[in-house]
Structure 1
Amino acid sequence: MKTDIIVIGGYGHVGSQICRLLGGMHPGKVYAAGRNLKRAEEFSRSTGGYVKPLRLAAEEPLDQRLLKRVKLVVMCLDQQDTRLAEACLQRGTHYVDVSASGEFLSKLQKLDPVKNGLQAAALLSVGLAPGLTNLLAARAMQELEHTESIDISIMLGLGDSHGQAALEWTVDNLGAAFEITEHGKARTASSFTGSKSTDFGFDLRTRTAYRFPFSDQQTLPVTLGVPSVSTRLCFDSRISTSAVAVLRRLGLPALLRNRTCRNFAVRAFGKFRFGSARFAVKVDAYGLKNGKPMQIEYGIEGVHEADITAITAAGVILNLYESAPPPGVYHIEQLFTLQPDGNRLSLVSAGKAGTGVSMAYPLNGVTFWTRSTVR
């Protein structure tokens, strides 16, 4: 009988929090896995042993005997190909991916349950962005009769503590070119271009955000059928945001292709603290309601982005562990919705995709607001 959960990258910044949350519910069944067994063992001891250690490198072939007892694998590391995910799904082991690489998630999304022999479910777009951004976009879209476009804006706190993988992903994509969908057609955009002034609400006020290759803008046109979706990024420090935008125009992408410069930038982002640990997400949905042009705004705010990523991931993982949908590849907005209660939110599984089970999981740590405006 399959009972175990393996979290690859489970002793990392986000993975360790996911392990603690899952281990509290299923002590002795959760394994913090990675290539460094010593670090996994140290983390296991810090939990009192209710999370177990395991050496497992993501790029190495999976031990098929391991999959006989593993019910669910959680991936907290960036990958280049889908071999590990396919191996899990073909052996009846569910797979959850906590990453933001649009290219990789698009590869997974193309897996066909019948053609690829899938025997379990994969759940993608799990965390803050993608994840809560997808769910906020879906919720805002439900208020409109017709949705023309969705703009997603993300503010991250440079005073927060970010994991190594997140720092590397951010730096590596400062000069990236990526695909977006506008008016139903694909086009190429570049990081830190296409600025937009965004009101994040609360006491954060307006900030300028720039395009960035979060995967939600690549998957939402497919899952929600929205003709235009864009995602932009800024930091809580306006000076830092402006500095990155200026450096980008002065040739930062070419500079970061040099390994030494790239590694220095990663260390600088990790070492220096500019601003606070606050994060915020704003979703603007534009369309028609009662025949009138409307703008629906949804916003959330909190501190420590890694915490809410782990909380969101743990919620969907626990639901998938107890009651999985039919074999296939899903994004979070295809199986879950957000349920507002005043300025609080809960993650709700309404029994979509044939599960027949409903679950409400409170997203402690975020504050929510919404408003509608006739354009």
Structure 2
Amino acid sequence: MKNKLLIIGGHGAVGRIILKNLLDKGISENQLVIAGRSLDKMTNFIEKEKLRIDYRQIDIHEPIKKAMFEDIQLVVMCIDQKETTFVEELMALKIDYVDITANSEFIKKINQLPQNKTVSVVTSVGLAPGLTNLATADYIKRYQPKTVAIDILLGTGESHGEAAVHWMFDNINQPYHIKQASQPIKNFTLKRVVDFTPKLKQRETYNFNFSDQHILNEQYPKIPITTYFGFDMNIMTKSLHWLNRMNGLSFLEKKQVIHILKKVMKKEMIGTDAFAIRVSNGKEDDKNGFSLYGSNEKEITGKIASLVVYRVYKQQEKVGIASIDGILTLDDVVNETHLHKFIN
């Protein structure tokens, strides 16, 4: 009987948060399975957390062994991929799928697969993409703006998950396209100064290649949507901008430097664990712009993902290939996660 929920990377930084939230929502331990390549890591995690869940050794880069998936109803992916082969194999087996990746190229590849309404395949289910998509859709529906700016603020005082850190530094030097520019632009070139909340004012943000803007620009082709990013400490954000101005970001391509920076980002540093997103028309006098904010971005990402997973697992209707807005509304997320809202 297909009734189990498999979390690939369920012992990782965000995967364990999803697992905990599903247990809190009443999913029983005998319905949950974690998977990965390292048996030692999984068994150590299960023993440390005193869990009674099953675990399976699975390499997502190898062809699926159907016997391992005979009882699986839904797969949650917490590990980045480059190709969609694994997803396509799951779809052929009519197994639902939720992916927490922020990789815009991979999400694009999934969205280009043939639509299949016999399964649910859902992406963009975290903070960005995810919450930012829902907030932008809500803002556009209410106010019909001509342009949209999405500003994201992360705390330097929080340790960040390995996949998120890898993604950031692997993409920091890659130019990308936005609607407002005829040529590809570099990260950390377009500056904004944003008041996120009464306590988080005058924070600098710069354009960054988050996948939410690409997904949203396809949904709303007549509205230019651009995502900007910064840290709670302006000096950190400024440093990346000035390195970019001096072509210094190229040193981030060196393996030794990337290794050091990834270790630093995974540790708690000076600063706070606050995070915020803001959606507006990009102008300071926008009275309709609003922010959603809280603390512990990693925790919120896991909570939002678990809401999507729980809904997909429980509902009978299949949505085919979809983003978070095919499953949840902004109110669903705000009410369940108790995020704070600030309106100018």
- Corresponding residue number in structure 1 for 2:90: 88
Matched, 1:311 2:303: yes
Q: Secondary structure at the match of 1:108?
A: helix
- Contact kept, 8 Å, 1:181 with 1:187, in 2: the verdict is no
Deviation at 1:13, TM superposition (A): 0.6
Q: In proportion to residue count, which structure has more helix? A: 2
Q: TM-score, normalised by structure 1?
A: 0.85
Matched, 1:258 2:217: no
- CA spacing shift, 1:252–1:73, aligned 2, 3 Å: farther
Matched, 1:161 2:188: no
Given residue 306 of structure 2, which amino acid in structure 1 is its aligned partner? A
CA offsets 1:327-365 (integer angstroms, 9 cap, x no match): 5210112332122xxxxxx339xxxxxxxxxxxx6113x
- Contact kept, 8 Å, 1:141 with 1:285, in 2: the verdict is no
CA offsets 1:26-58 (integer angstroms, 9 cap, x no match): 222112211111111122223332433222222
- Quote the Cα distance in structure 2 between the aligned partners of 1:72 and 1:187: 41
- Quote the Cα distance in structure 2 between the aligned partners of 1:272 and 1:316: 28
Q: Secondary structure at the match of 2:156?
A: coil
Q: In proportion to residue count, which structure has more strand? A: 1
- Quote the Cα distance in structure 2 between the aligned partners of 1:219 and 1:127: 14
- Contact kept, 8 Å, 1:20 with 1:47, in 2: the verdict is no
- Corresponding residue number in structure 1 for 2:336: 362
Structure 1 residue runs of 5 or longer lacking an equivalent are 288-292, 340-345, 349-360
- Contact kept, 8 Å, 2:312 with 2:327, in 1: the verdict is no
Q: Secondary structure at the match of 1:213?
A: coil
Alignment of 1:264-275 (within 5 A): 264-271=260-267, 273-275=269-271
Alignment of 1:1-40 (within 5 A): 1-24=1-24, 25-27=26-28, 28-40=30-42
Matched, 1:301 2:274: no
Output the aligned Cα RMSD.
Answer: 2.2
Deviation at 1:170, TM superposition (A): 1.6
- Quote the Cα distance in structure 2 between the aligned partners of 1:95 and 1:123: 6
- Contact kept, 8 Å, 2:18 with 2:303, in 1: the verdict is yes
- Quote the Cα distance in structure 2 between the aligned partners of 1:36 and 1:241: 36
- Corresponding residue number in structure 2 for 1:141: 140
CA offsets 1:169-209 (integer angstroms, 9 cap, x no match): 12222222123234xx8752221111111110231112110
CA offsets 1:49-76 (integer angstroms, 9 cap, x no match): 2433222222222211223211111111
Deviation at 1:279, TM superposition (A): 0.6
Greater shift, 194-203 or 267-276, is seen at 267-276
| Aligned partner (choices 327, 333, 344) of residue 347 of structure 1 | 333
Determine which structure has greater relative contact order: mean sequence separation of CA pairs < 8 Å that are 6+ residues apart, divided by chain length: 2
Matched, 1:179 2:177: yes
- CA spacing shift, 1:186–1:72, aligned 2, 3 Å: farther
Q: TM-score, normalised by structure 2?
A: 0.92
Given residue 58 of structure 1, which amino acid in structure 2 is its aligned partner? I
Moved over 6 A (4+): none
- Corresponding residue number in structure 2 for 1:104: 106
Greater shift, 54-63 or 200-209, is seen at 54-63
CA offsets 1:91-125 (integer angstroms, 9 cap, x no match): 111111101111110010011125xxx73111110
Deviation at 1:216, TM superposition (A): 0.5
- Quote the Cα distance in structure 2 between the aligned partners of 1:192 and 1:294: 23
Given residue 43 of structure 1, which amino acid in structure 2 is its aligned partner? F
Q: Secondary structure at the match of 1:210?
A: strand
- Corresponding residue number in structure 2 for 1:200: 196
- Corresponding residue number in structure 1 for 2:149: 151
CA offsets 1:128-160 (integer angstroms, 9 cap, x no match): 11111011111111212x331111011001110
Given residue 244 of structure 2, which amino acid in structure 1 is its aligned partner? R
Given residue 195 of structure 1, which amino acid in structure 2 is its aligned partner? K
- Contact kept, 8 Å, 2:179 with 2:225, in 1: the verdict is yes
- Contact kept, 8 Å, 1:30 with 1:50, in 2: the verdict is no
- CA spacing shift, 1:36–1:282, aligned 2, 3 Å: same
- CA spacing shift, 1:277–1:73, aligned 2, 3 Å: same
- Contact kept, 8 Å, 1:211 with 1:230, in 2: the verdict is yes
Q: Secondary structure at the match of 1:181?
A: coil
- CA spacing shift, 1:327–1:299, aligned 2, 3 Å: closer
Given residue 167 of structure 1, which amino acid in structure 2 is its aligned partner? V
- CA spacing shift, 1:56–1:197, aligned 2, 3 Å: same
- CA spacing shift, 1:243–1:253, aligned 2, 3 Å: closer
- Quote the Cα distance in structure 1 between the aligned partners of 2:316 and 2:99: 15
Given residue 177 of structure 1, which amino acid in structure 2 is its aligned partner? P
- Quote the Cα distance in structure 2 between the aligned partners of 1:272 and 1:221: 34
Matched, 1:122 2:121: yes
Given residue 38 of structure 1, which amino acid in structure 2 is its aligned partner? D
- Corresponding residue number in structure 1 for 2:66: 64
Structure 2 residue runs of 5 or longer lacking an equivalent are none
